Structure 1
Amino acid sequence: MTIHPEIAKILATLPAPDGSPLNPEAMRAGGAAMVAPPEVRLPLHSVQDATAVTPSGEVPVRIYTPAEADAYGLLVYFHGGAFFLGSLDTHDHVARSLAKETGHKVISVGYRLAPEASFPAGLDDCYGVVRWAAEHRGNLGWDGKNLAVAGDSSGGNFVAAVTARAHDDGFPAITHQILFYPSLDLDFDVDRYGSLRENAEGYGLETAGLLPFNSFYLQSGADPADPLVSPIKRQDLAGLPPALVITAEHDPLRDEGELYGLRLREAGVNVAVSRYEGANHGFVQNFSWIPEFYRPFEETAAFLSKSAGLSGNAGLQGSAAQ
């Protein structure tokens, strides 16, 4: 299917990459300038900024309570942005929609960004907040049932790495993992996945840009072969929590997300993979105002409503949006 016409209109306005060095500060400022003012954001029962005290330090979080209730499931959300972009503000609308549709209290994590803090700083912050949430269950009103982790793009990388760390540490509280078009393999050999060539140019995120975008995160000397850097390289995926993987048809990262889902299923993990036709990388953040691309939030809600995850025979699902 061709790219959705509304996405195509936006893509047509973007300047062609000119090979100039990336400027994190300028790019962050550009993202901040596009944040919607508070008065037009999706209303919820409450939205509060707080600080999670973790082994890696004090981490800013934003807590979204969808409605008044006695107790809630919890969803810890890691925003995307190639490990050096994004913030609590740029992804505020994503967290609000997740809270509204799932009925869960959402904790969005303002983790440290590269290049100021490269691997493993952001990962440590995300993992620390998940453990903080479990430890502060009373203050957060956790019902003791769902404790999900969700993230988009590089945030999806953190989801996979956090669930692996939790499993290896014997921390069993995470019940679900939700990955929106995740970046799971930071070895950018263009022949590794067909989608890296199929969607190399013209869809927003371009294959040639993957290495420079992610180099800030790797500049500490992180090894792309390390499963905590590239979670798809983890050999044993058995015992990880049920997973929902959302991919986009016109995304260079599409195939690695779908391969991760396949490998999870082969390891005995309950998993569903939904490919959104006509979509590009970042569509959940950038184009959820298009009705069919709002559906990942509803799909996440349905996934979380199954207390034990998906049935063992669920396997890989077909395309979710046409």
Structure 2
Amino acid sequence: MTDYKKLIDAETWAFIERTNSYYPSDTIDYTIAQQRPIYDRMCREFFAGYPQGVTAETTVIAAPAHDVLIRIYRSAAPNASAMVLYVHGGGFILGGLDSHDDVCAELCARTGYEVVSVDYRLAPEHLHPAAFDDVMGAFEWATSTYECPVLLCGDSAGGNLCASVSHATRGHARRPIGQMLIYPGLGGDRSQGSYVTHAEAPMLTVRDLNFYKDIRTGGEDRTGDLTLWPLADADFANLPPTVVITAQCDPLSSDGEAYRDRVVAADGHAFWFEEPGLVHGYLRARHTVGRARSSFTRIVHAVAVLGRGEWIW
């Protein structure tokens, strides 16, 4: 039994308790219609505002499968080396442009890159591959709209979608310049590693993951679907330079390690770092928890470096 009282510090416990006060751990047992306003309220309670000099514009782009709502963030001190396509988390059933609004604004402010957040379709109304199709459509829009390279960045479910797009586009003339994956779910082996050690972790459990998986697919067995689980791919060659950052107290952490190992084994560039004592969803704690603040600085630095086409790890 993992002793979280030893692994997690007082600041992080305070974040967990604050989160649970808005989004109780049994929310997973509610209907999707009930879960969404609870999640949205929690995100509003953690909203940190925009840094000075950042503006945002919400618009719609025409994608092959479906018109997609996006939000474009611009800095008063722009850096045109790259643009960032951001894909939000939320278990494929929650979230949208507002849930990660301040995260995107801060990424924009601290890197100078334009950041485009994607409001992909959610399950269960839109089963897989709807979300993948929307993110792929947004990526293709970005590569045809921006002259600079496109960097993929996403957390949790968004990290999954970023990696899926990277695998699907590695043969394209304009593929991603890099990918920044934040505590992503990539389809790892649930019989070992963090799936066992942290099966009952605060903020995210294996039971939660099973719920999200079944909702996303409508219960259909999609074993081997590379647009669903990037770790199911047999070929990890020619992927963009990849940085994966995970939380120690999270059943998904082993996915980051496994993904790093497979990219490196295929002679690619990949770096994985597990944040000690942090939990899934800690991006919302970046202003109140020292460990989360340091991690967000690492994420910003990685985005900046990848966007310049450099590799320092």
Match of residue 168 from structure 2: 165
1:183, CA displacement in angstroms? 0.4
| Aligned counterpart for 1:53 among listed residues 48, 51, 62 | 62
3-state DSSP of counterpart to 2:163: helix
1:213, CA displacement in angstroms? 2.2
Work out whether residues 246 and 276 of structure 1, in 8 Å CA contact, stay in contact via their aligned partners in 2.
yes
Counterpart residue type for residue 10 of structure 2? P
Distance 1:38 1:255 in 2: 29
| Aligned counterpart for 1:182 among listed residues 177, 181, 184 | 184
Q: How does 1:125-274 map to 2 (within 5 A)?
A: 125-137=134-146, 142=147, 144=148, 146-168=149-171, 170-185=172-187, 190-191=190-191, 193-219=192-218, 221=220, 223-274=222-273
| 1:258–1:32 CA distance, 2 compared to 1 (3 A) | same
1:297, CA displacement in angstroms? 3.7
Match of residue 123 from structure 1: 132
Distance 2:153 2:110 in 1: 14
Work out whether residues 183 and 246 of structure 2, in 8 Å CA contact, stay in contact via their aligned partners in 1.
yes
| 1:44–1:173 CA distance, 2 compared to 1 (3 A) | farther
Distance 1:43 1:26 in 2: 35
| 1:195–1:37 CA distance, 2 compared to 1 (3 A) | closer
Work out whether residues 88 and 154 of structure 2, in 8 Å CA contact, stay in contact via their aligned partners in 1.
yes
Counterpart residue type for residue 56 of structure 2? V
Match of residue 32 from structure 1: 40
Deviations, residues 194-220 of structure 1 (Å, cap 9, x unaligned) = 211211214110112211122111117
Work out whether residues 54 and 108 of structure 2, in 8 Å CA contact, stay in contact via their aligned partners in 1.
no
Identity of aligned residues (%): 29
Distance 2:296 2:12 in 1: 19
Match of residue 3 from structure 2: none
| 1:219–1:94 CA distance, 2 compared to 1 (3 A) | same
| 1:38–1:198 CA distance, 2 compared to 1 (3 A) | closer
Task: Give the TM-score, by structure 1 length.
Answer: 0.86
Distance 2:67 2:150 in 1: 21
3-state DSSP of counterpart to 2:102: helix
Verify: 1:308 aligned to 2:309, yes or no: yes
1:222, CA displacement in angstroms? 5.3
Work out whether residues 278 and 291 of structure 2, in 8 Å CA contact, stay in contact via their aligned partners in 1.
no
Distance 2:78 2:219 in 1: 44
Match of residue 10 from structure 2: 5
Counterpart residue type for residue 242 of structure 2? A
1:244, CA displacement in angstroms? 0.6
Structure 2, unaligned stretches of length 5 or more?
A: 1-5
How many residue pairs get matched?
301
Structure with a larger share of its residues in helix: 2
* 4+ aligned runs moved over 4 Å, structure 1: 15-20, 36-39
Task: Give the TM-score, by structure 2 length.
Answer: 0.88
Counterpart residue type for residue 252 of structure 2? L
Moved more, 255-264 or 219-228: 219-228
3-state DSSP of counterpart to 1:249: strand
